[in-house]
Amino acid sequence: MALYVFVTLQIVCAIGLMVLTAVTTTKSEQGSGFGWGTIGGKSSSTIAGLEDQLGRLTMYVCIAFLIISALAAYVGARS
């Protein structure tokens, strides 16, 4: 039963990572998606720090995904 919970959480984290990666712009995109442009590698949008917050959130979801994957593998190996 615990394995199903971990696999479900793993799927949720994977979908979250895909969405966060899709909405995050890279430095090479030069803000072309929203027309904001960049100044010194930082977004010049009116929403200050949005890219930094998305980057941090992506990092936390990635760490959660790795931990949940390790726990799912451990629980799966024991059963």
Per-residue pLDDT tens over the stretch 36-56? 555 555 545 546 588 888 989
Backbone angles phi, psi at 39, to 5 degrees: -130, 110
Q: Is residue 31's pLDDT more than 60?
A: no
31 DSSP 8-state letter: T
Phi, psi dihedrals of residue 70, rounded to the nearest 5°: -65, -40
CA-CA distance, 46 to 37, in Å (whole number)? 11
Q: What is the mean pLDDT of residues 51-75?
A: 94
Give me the amino acid identity at 4: Y
CA gap 35, 4 in Å, rounded: 43
pLDDT above 70 (res 33): no
- Considering 23-27, 51-55, 57-61, the range whose residues carry the highest mean pLDDT is 57-61
Mean pLDDT, residues 2-26: 92
Nearest Cα neighbor of 26 from 43, 9, 48 is 43
